[in-house]
Amino acid sequence: MTTVPVVSSSITIPSIHYLAILPVIILLGASVVLVFATALVRTKVTQFVASSVTVAASVAVLVVTYFQWRCLDSSGPSTTIAHAIVLDGFSVVATGVVAVSLLMATLVAHDWALRERIVGAEYQILALAASAGAVLMTQANDLVVIFLGLEILSLGLYVLVAFDRHRHTSAEAALKYFLLGGFASAIFIYGAALVYGATGSTNLSTMSYFLASNVLTHPGLLYAGFALLIVGFSFKIAAVPFHLWSPDVYEGAPTPVTGFMASIVKVGAFAAFVRVLISALGTQIDTWRPILWVLVVLTTVVGASVALLQRNAKRMLAYSSINHAGFILLGIWAGTTRGVASTLFYIVTYAPTVVATFAVVTLVGGLGDENHSIGGYRGLARRQPWLGASMCVLLLSQLGAPLTSGFYAKYSVLASTIDVGGSPLALIALLSAAIAACFYLRWSSALYSDEPVEATRIVVPLSTGIVIGVGVAMTLVFGIWPGPLVTLCQHATLLFTP
């Protein structure tokens, strides 16, 4: 008989700061509640109930972020649960953006589901779960948690993309997204393993501490690791050449889902990207900067120029969002506190704009979600001035026209780039914006075209109308009066900013 070794120490469960993980709990909780309701209640859960639960959850998250911010004000940023989760300004603001995106996207999807006669709470269940994943990514301080957040976010979206039962492109897009997403996830996790090998930890703070206190004479392993991490993130944010899935998926997915994806994936992936590169690998900036330089150039230029050739609204917006990803990367490239703040500002302003844009696209798409040629927008503003003008404002904001939030967003990332001597890069990005201006302007002028087009009047349902209104209002208010938001983003610094 062998003796069972005596357990030498009892396990001490790490302390848990519940306020920090409350947003994730709320979102997942709401999702699970809806799952149970679907399974247990005999009658089908109506869209109204499902959407109400989702809206309530996102509002609750917003309220929680307010208390988190107050907590930050009083006791400063902190980590919790064995340093796996961060509560800092950056995570709080990014969480708030996820909540706002979820809220707006749910309202749009609600009307869309009614229009397409979709029953059941499936959409809301998955949207809630995906948002929980995005929130996890914004808060994660551990590569494992980032990966899990990424997977939760992606799994939810894979199914959401396949949601449209009437169009085979929807299922096809989901399959493409799933396969390539799996590929990217594998690369990411391999990268995480290599970084673990090089630093001895998956925890970002520990990693940062290790790299700050040790000089790596042979950093090859670390480089290999973060190269693969960058590939994984680049896939998620659709940076060229890891972007090819995005136009197909944007086009194939139901339009409200596209809007939702475009906003929360960007928020989650960029937040985690910033944390990994700046917090954990800030000391390696000289190595990852050239990589990002090339990524920015390719992403901005390819995104803008290929968009010129698109005739489909959703594909064009996909390339436009690629172009935006390049701009957001600029802030990370700068690697300074200001750069991080400008990245955050860009995300905060871009998310509502893009959700509202896709809300208009959803409406124009009409029953069956198929009418997405740019030609469908001809004269929209003549027929329906409010809707057309809203779309025009949203497009101009993406173009970066003054008096819209997009202008200050672009300005601030470019300024932070130039601050650290990136004038050539800023110039290239700016040129891409000039190219992008062509198709935004072509689209906006189509809105005001005089040609008589046979078109039925688009009914704007209440909640979608609210979303568009709110999106336009945010675009204009933050455009004319960016001060408070800029201040907020400047205060929302990372916990371990160099």
| Residues 70-89 close enough to bind another protein by CB under 8 A | 81-82, 84-85
Q: Does 260 bind another protein (CB under 8 A)?
A: no
Q: Does 200 bind another protein (CB under 8 A)?
A: yes
For 111, phi then psi, to 5°, come to -65, -35
Binding mask 102-131 vs another protein (x if CB under 8 A, - otherwise)? --------------------x--xx--x--
The residue within the footprint of another protein, chosen from 1, 4, 18, 457 (CB under 8 A), is 4
Residues 6+ apart with CB under 8 A from 174: 158, 159, 161, 162, 249, 252, 253
Distance CA 303, CA 319 (A): 5
The residue within the footprint of another protein, chosen from 220, 368, 421, 452 (CB under 8 A), is 220
Count of chain residues binding another protein (CB under 8 A): 92
- Rank residues 268 and 379 by Cβ distance to another protein and give the closer one: 268
Q: Does 62 bind another protein (CB under 8 A)?
A: no
| Tokens read off for 435 | 């190219």
- Rank residues 208 and 364 by Cβ distance to another protein and give the closer one: 208
Q: Does 223 bind another protein (CB under 8 A)?
A: yes
Footprint of another protein on residues 138-197 (CB under 8 A)? 142, 144-145, 148-149, 151-152, 155-156, 158-159, 162, 165-166, 175-176, 179-180, 183-184, 187, 194, 196-197
State the angle between helix axes of 385-399 and 423-447 in degrees (0 to 180), rounded to the nearest 10: 170
Footprint of another protein on residues 345-384 (CB under 8 A)? none
For 226, phi then psi, to 5°, come to -75, -20
Q: Buried b vs exposed e over 419-442: b needs ≥16 C-beta within 10 Å?
A: ebebeebbebbbebbebbbebbee
Q: Does 269 bind another protein (CB under 8 A)?
A: no
- Rank residues 189 and 363 by Cβ distance to another protein and give the closer one: 189
For 357, phi then psi, to 5°, come to -60, -45
Residue 16 Cβ, how far from another protein at the closest point, in Å? 8
The residue within the footprint of another protein, chosen from 93, 105, 135, 198 (CB under 8 A), is 198
Stretch that binds another protein, among 92-100, 105-113, 212-220, 420-428 (CB under 8 A): 212-220
**Number of other residues whose CB lies within 10 A of the CB of residue 384:** 19
The residue within the footprint of another protein, chosen from 221, 374, 389, 453 (CB under 8 A), is 221
Distance CA 373, CA 377 (A): 8
Footprint of another protein on residues 423-482 (CB under 8 A)? 435, 438, 481-482
Answer for the pair 439, 310: CB distance below 8 angstroms, yes or no: yes
- Give the residue among 340, 342, 291, 292 at the shortest CA–CA distance from 497: 340
| Location of structure tokens 């090819």 | 244
Residue 165 Cβ, how far from another protein at the closest point, in Å? 6
The residue count of the chain comes to: 498
Distance CA 244, CA 201 (A): 33
Residues 6+ apart with CB under 8 A from 282: 208, 335, 496, 497, 498
For 79, phi then psi, to 5°, come to -115, 160
Q: Does 321 bind another protein (CB under 8 A)?
A: no
Footprint of another protein on residues 11-50 (CB under 8 A)? 11-14, 21, 24, 28, 31-32, 35
Binding mask 279-318 vs another protein (x if CB under 8 A, - otherwise)? --------x--xx----------x--xx-xx---------
Residue 314 Cβ, how far from another protein at the closest point, in Å? 14
Helix (H) or strand (E) segment spanning residue 173: helix 168-199
Residue 453 Cβ, how far from another protein at the closest point, in Å? 25
The residue within the footprint of another protein, chosen from 231, 272, 363, 396 (CB under 8 A), is 231
Residue 81 Cβ, how far from another protein at the closest point, in Å? 4
Residue 485 Cβ, how far from another protein at the closest point, in Å? 10
Distance CA 257, CA 183 (A): 22
For 174, phi then psi, to 5°, come to -60, -40
